Each structure stands twice: as structure tokens, then as C-alpha cells.
Amino acid sequence: MQIRTDLPLLLDNRNMTQTELSEMTGIPRVYIVYIVGGRMLPDDKQLEKICQALKVTSDMIYPDPAMRDILAGDKPRRRKSRALQTLHDKGKEAQHG
């Protein structure tokens, strides 16, 4: 499942490559590729570094309020779908490792 993100648009708008974002944040390029492609959620530190590098807030990267709740570690306000709940559960599992 892919996670909707506006990272490709933000990178394009800033004429920045994924490699440059990786170098600016210290996040391995392979993780940047997965995050930009919506195949991986960044952890709190990674998201903060990405936001600083792009000079944006997380809601510009993840405009969907339910996704912001997941990234913040909160349960979605209402159950939108089984897929979203599964994504939330996986995020919780990853945090508690």
C-alpha cells in the first residue's frame, strides 16, 4: 500500500533531488526513496529533518489529517478504512519494536 505524500511535488518545487535531500538530512538515500514513494513512514526525527531541509511543516508533506494522526502516534479520529487502521497498527508496532 502506498501512503499519499506531497514530497515529490515539494522536491520538484525546490529543484531538489532525493540525493540532495538525503545529503541535507543525513537520512540514507534508500529511506528517502521509500518515504518519497509512499512505501515507508519516516520516524519523528526523520520527519523533522525533512521538514527543516524543505522549510515546510509536516502538514505540507502529509496533508491528510488521518495520516498526520498516525505520524503523531495518535489513533485516527474515526476509522476511515481497514487499510488505514492496519497502517496505524503497523506504525505502533514499529515504534514499540
For the beta carbon of residue 11, count every other beta carbon within 10 angstroms: 18
pLDDT of the residue at 58: 84
36-74 pLDDT, tens digit per residue, is 888 888 888 999 999 999 999 888 887 776 666 666 565
What local confidence, expressed as pLDDT, does residue 28 receive? 96
DSSP label of 39 = S
Residue 30 has pLDDT above 90, yes or no: yes
pLDDT of residue 23: 97
Residue 79: per-residue pLDDT: 47
Could you give all domains of the chain from N- to C-terminal order, each with its CATH number?
7-96 (1.10.260.40)
